Amino acid sequence: MDFISLSVSVHWLLVTGIGIRVIMKRPEAGVALAWMLLVAVVPYGGALVYLLIGERRIDPRREREIKALQQDYRRLFDTAREQGITDVDWLSHSPAAKQLDTLGGNLVGSHAVGGSAFQLKSDTAEVLATLASEIDAAKTSVLMEFYIWAEGGAADTVLEALIKAAGRGVSCRVLVDAIGARPWWKGDQPARLRAAGVEVRPALPVGLFRSFVGRTDLRLHRKIVVIDGEIAWTGSMNLVDPRFFKADAGVGEWVDAMVRVEGPIVGPLAAIAIGDWRLETNEPISDLVKSAGLRLNPARGTTDMQAIPSGPGQSVDGLLQMMLALIAAAREELVVTTPYLVPDASLLRALRGAAGRGVAVSIIVPERVDSVLTRYASRSYFEDLLDAGVAIHLYRDGLLHTKSIVADSKMAMFGTANIDMRSIWLNYEDVLFVYDPAFSTELRALQATYIEASDPLLPGDWADRATTERFTENAARLISPLL
């Protein structure tokens, strides 16, 4: 047998073997077909890519640690329930809210807690200034985790505040994704923090050995700050100043929103961040809880919130099921903001179904995004949505990065998860489901400002786009399950 014949035979053996493995793993049909197509049409390279990132494969040690942490989460909520901290007056909400709480409890182990206070912030400069000020005032602990940290501008004021806090004896822990913040890790700021006494760790570091025991593209996409165990922040904003971050990307400044919370919800958010730190450091959970000041906080307001962590090893499809339930709960209006719109089949049908039953569905996405492939894949879904009566708004004043869903101005989703398959299946995310008309109304007002700064996508205009554009979009859609 000559070399070419041998190569072809080995290729088709790989196609057959990986095809059998894909079938036995039972992923979504679209994901399975996309992988099998890639392995078949890209000799050897497709098989290598599949073996590296084709499955939600995590380090067995990490998987065991996550399961242990889930037991800790459940004990936390059991204690909170015994003390009445999780008590929520569900009679004041729609039946769908109670069902969402039950769903999150059953699938993720996280229930809603009552009595929190919130401040919704959409000015990045104000968020960074307030963070720096509150870290300056910290007495015992600062716990932070972000997907991206970038030098420059007001982000540096947060760094200086951490250095000063550590200098006066405050326990400071910072966890930043190894890939999302790769340029930052190559700079001198991590060393400056460590020299000052701040504990800084990369989340999910990559390497040749790690690629054999787990996927290297599973990323920590969470954004959480906890100060003195009393104040917490979360939302879509990375630790960056948008005036300096990716200024040459051609998409404008990133537009984000964060929520500052006090009260019982701080505990679940702190538990998520502490768990992530534990996974990277193996520090005893009791020591982390003590030094971070994690406790069951008393009521500070009237808002009922549910923190939902998601990611490989934490839940199979808990976040997706929560999103679907929230969309199904809408009766009059549903407004969605996301920078990356690459929904799986179930989300696409849920959005179309909501519009079909008479709900006024609006989706706000940026006109330009920082990924060409994602942009074309996202646009391939516009026709399906427009045909069902969904209104699509193209935000023109930068890269709209806020991730939110508001249903009937009564319930909302707010956090780090995009409406795409990477957030749903691959990233470690944190999301708040909020059962409060006051929060939902305020978030809906913010969404209204985004709509005002957007251009509506008219079905007639969209139908007139060039055939080459249609082909490129549909081709990108074929591999959208892999994005």
* Active-site residue, selected from the candidate residues 111, 121, 223, 393: 223
CA distances from 420 to 18, 189, 197, 329 (A): 25, 32, 38, 20
* Active-site residue, selected from the candidate residues 59, 401, 410, 420: 401
CA distances from 72 to 77, 225, 268 (A): 9, 20, 11
Positive or negative, the Cα torsion across 440, 355, 385, 38?
positive
Helix axes 345-356, 318-329, angle to 10 degrees: 10
**Active-site residue flag, 464:** no
* Active-site residue, selected from the candidate residues 241, 344, 408, 430: 408
* Active-site residue, selected from the candidate residues 59, 228, 420, 430: 228
Q: Which two three-digit tokens encode residue 411?
A: 């319930």
Residue 130 burial class via C-beta count within 10 angstroms: exposed 0-12, middle 13-18, buried 19 and up: middle
8 A C-beta contact, residue 228 and residue 291: no
* Active-site residue, selected from the candidate residues 93, 111, 121, 221: 221
Amino acid letter at 233? W
**Active-site residue flag, 241:** no
**Active-site residue flag, 401:** yes
**Active-site residue flag, 223:** yes
DSSP string, 376-442: HHHHTTHHHHHHTT-EEEEE-SSEE--EEEEETTTEEEEES--EEHHHHHTSBEEEEEEE-HHHHHH
**Active-site residue flag, 67:** no
**Which own/partner pairs from 36-42 qualify as long-range (CB within 8 Å, at least 24 positions apart)?**
37/478, 38/479, 38/482, 39/14, 39/15, 40/15
* Active-site residue, selected from the candidate residues 241, 403, 420, 430: 403
DSSP, res 90: G
Active site residues: 221, 223, 228, 401, 403, 408
